[in-house]
A and B are shown apart, each in its own frame.
Chain A
């Protein structure tokens, strides 16, 4: 089954404690991205990756890091989480940015930073 898998689904952490949210896709997609979803703000892109070792900032990259060492994995790293990073995070992948290609989203990771 084609899917994007995020882990963990839920996470509560303390300010300053480094964490990683993993994202893996089994569709051999080249393009992957991370979004955060906040009430009243919709989805905002954090980082995206065109392919292995190719990443770039999205709309709200501050406080986040990513890496793309393998095609299937695109982890999101919060080096020193802060309460304003409490949000619902989604990873997405697609073959490329073509109209006929569907973008697949993971089920989300709800992060709470206290």
Chain B
């Protein structure tokens, strides 16, 4: 079964802790993305990666870090520098069979700071 998986589904963080959100895809997609969604708002881009060992900052990268050591995996670390991390985090990857940049999303991780 091909798809994008994210874990955990729910995550609780204490103040000052770093946490890592997992994103894995077996779709053989080159590009992967991390978005953040706050209640009643659209998605905002945190980081994206077009190829292995390369990634770029999105619109709201401060307080976050990523790595792309394998094509299938694009983990996101929420550091203690992120002042308001409570949000719904979505990972996506891209499929371009017809030259259209169609992004498909994983199920998301809901992060809550205690």
Q: Do A and B bind each other?
A: no
